[in-house]
């Protein structure tokens, strides 16, 4: 007999070899490699290769993969024109969702789902998502477009296109690490959305568009914006404790804390905490980090016993702010990283596909008489 689980909690709906999570022990692995090792030693491009191929690349393989990505940075004339026709008041998550979907309109074979075609299309989306975001940022600010530089890594190139100058090594490394940490995370809501759509034998663009729509929600990827908004409401480091205690007394949720899976410290947050501290000191944002640390101290005292710890969004907010990203580009940067993971799951799903079609527990009435409109 099928058992009902609200929100599908605890239900195993797919098998994967991509990422492993132990929420009780605070473990996250990609293809068996602990996330901390990848964040310390790998790059975003290498991490995507790992997920798409099930192994780390050799030196020549990684060089070829990097070249494939970089050769696709530039937008077609049609997509570039579409970016510049977007309303300047549009929210970037709605804009990037629309533009990723539009890539399918200009693809001569958008519905091809053989694995070589899917990988090829995924490379294009991976390479061009940062370009579309940078172009849109210039469009809405009224500043000149900065074309991509194919000599730069994906993280370096995005910051270069965004700011018109090459980033410092520290800035580029920080963004690259964020992308690595955001690449994959089990069967989260957006990944489930992508796998569910592609299981109908739809197309890559539809699956990624659905995933972006899911990620936008404040209970998913949109939480990092909430963290930054909260930090901006706290005037000083010393005011942080009273602010959080007041929210707890009102039973308000604290952005960046708690996770459906983790009942211990999110391993991604551990790495980001160190990175955020370094960046805050380097960029004159020490108070911002200290507010975060003070909030964490209060929450550890009040909520850690209930398994509520910082999640990936808590310190990613400080990190993104320190590297100069506008608030409403925080979640789109999550998209940039997660495109690699979503695409890996789409490839995995298609390799051994079965249509997702869960049951539903009907709780309504039965045998209700139809009442003619004259009697209602």
Distance, CA of 57 to CA of 46 (rounded, Å): 7
DSSP letter string over 294-344?
Answer: HHHHHHHHHHGGGT--B-HHHHHHHHHHHTT--GGGHHHHHHHHHHHHHHH
Residue 10 has a pLDDT of 79
pLDDT beneath 70: ranges in the chain = 1
Residue 107 has a pLDDT of 97
Radius of gyration in angstroms for the set of CA atoms belonging to the chain, rounded to a whole number: 22
Of 232, 236, 190, residue with least CA distance to 326: 232
DSSP letter string over 5-36?
Answer: -GGGTT------SSEEEETTTTEEEETTEEHH
Beta bridge partners of 178: none
Q: Where are the alpha helices (DSSP H) in 199-239?
A: 204-215, 223-233
Cα of 99 vs its chain's centroid, Å: 16
Residues whose CB falls within 8 Å of the CB of residue 118, separated by 6 or more in sequence, listed in order: 112, 204, 343, 346, 347, 350
Cα of 309 vs its chain's centroid, Å: 19
Name the token pair of 206.
């539809």
Residue 1 has a pLDDT of 55
74 C-beta neighbours (distance < 10 Å), count? 15
Judge contact between 24 and 37, C-beta under 8 A: no
Residue 21 has a pLDDT of 93
> Does residue 259 have an active-site annotation?
yes
For 281-319, the pLDDT digits (tens) are 989 999 999 999 999 999 999 998 888 999 888 898 899
Which position among 182, 259, 321, 345 bears the catalytic label? 259
Q: Where in the chain is the domain with CATH 1.10.230.10?
A: 223-322
Which position among 22, 220, 282, 328 bears the catalytic label? 220
Which position among 184, 203, 266, 313 bears the catalytic label? 313
Residue 311 has a pLDDT of 87
Of 75, 65, 74, residue with least CA distance to 120: 65
Q: Which fold has domain 19-219+331-351?
A: Citrate Synthase; domain 1 (1.10.580)
Residue 225 has a pLDDT of 86
pTM of the model: 0.92
Q: Which CATH number fits domain 223-322: 1.10.230.10, 1.20.200.10, 3.40.50.10710, 2.60.120.200?
A: 1.10.230.10
> Does residue 238 have an active-site annotation?
no
**Residue 164 falls in which region: left (phi positive, over 0), alpha (psi -120 to 50) or beta:** left
Residue 312 has a pLDDT of 85
> Does residue 321 have an active-site annotation?
no
Name the token pair of 87.
């309303």
225 C-beta neighbours (distance < 10 Å), count? 20
Residue 47 has a pLDDT of 98
């Amino acid at each position: 007999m099928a058992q009902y689980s609200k929100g599908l909690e605890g239900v195993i709906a797919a098998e994967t070899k991509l990422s492993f999570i132990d929420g009780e022990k605070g473990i996250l692995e990609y293809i068996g490699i602990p996330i901390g090792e990848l964040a310390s030693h790998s790059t975003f491009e290498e991490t995507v290769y790992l997920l798409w191929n099930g192994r780390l690349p050799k030196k020549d393989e990684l060089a070829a993969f990097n070249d494939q990505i970089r050769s696709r940075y530039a937008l077609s004339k049609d997509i570039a024109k579409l970016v510049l026709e977007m309303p300047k008041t549009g929210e970037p998550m709605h804009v990037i969702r629309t533009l990723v979907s539009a890539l399918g309109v200009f693809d001569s074979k958008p519905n091809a789902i053989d694995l070589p075609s899917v990988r090829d299309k995924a490379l294009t989306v991976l390479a061009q998502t940062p370009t579309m975001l940078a172009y849109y940022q210039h469009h809405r600010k009224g500043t000149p477009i900065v074309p991509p530089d194919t000599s730069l890594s994906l993280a370096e190139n995005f910051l270069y296109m965004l700011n018109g100058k090459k980033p410092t090594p520290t800035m580029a490394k920080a963004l690259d690490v964020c992308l690595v940490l955001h690449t994959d995370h089990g069967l989260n809501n957006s990944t489930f959305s992508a796998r569910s759509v592609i299981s109908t034998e739809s197309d890559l663009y539809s699956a990624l568009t659905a995933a972006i729509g899911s990620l936008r929600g404040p209970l998913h990827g949109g939480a990092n914006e909430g963290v930054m908004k909260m930090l901006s409401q706290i005037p000083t480091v010393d005011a942080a404790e009273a602010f959080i205690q007041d929210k707890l007394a009102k039973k308000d949720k604290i952005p960046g804390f708690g996770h459906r899976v983790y009942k211990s410290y999110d391993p991604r947050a551990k790495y980001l905490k160190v990175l955020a501290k370094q960046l805050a000191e380097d960029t004159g944002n020490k108070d911002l980090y200290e507010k975060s640390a003070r909030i964490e101290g209060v929450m550890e005292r009040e909520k850690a016993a209930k398994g509520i710890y910082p999640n990936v969004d808590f310190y990613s907010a400080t990190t993104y702010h320190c590297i100069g990203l506008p608030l409403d580009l925080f979640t789109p940067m999550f998209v940039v990283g997660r495109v690699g993971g979503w695409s890996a799951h789409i490839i995995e799903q298609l390799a051994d596909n079965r249509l997702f079609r869960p049951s539903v527990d009907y709780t309504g009435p039965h045998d209700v008489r139809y009442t003619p409109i004259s009697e209602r």
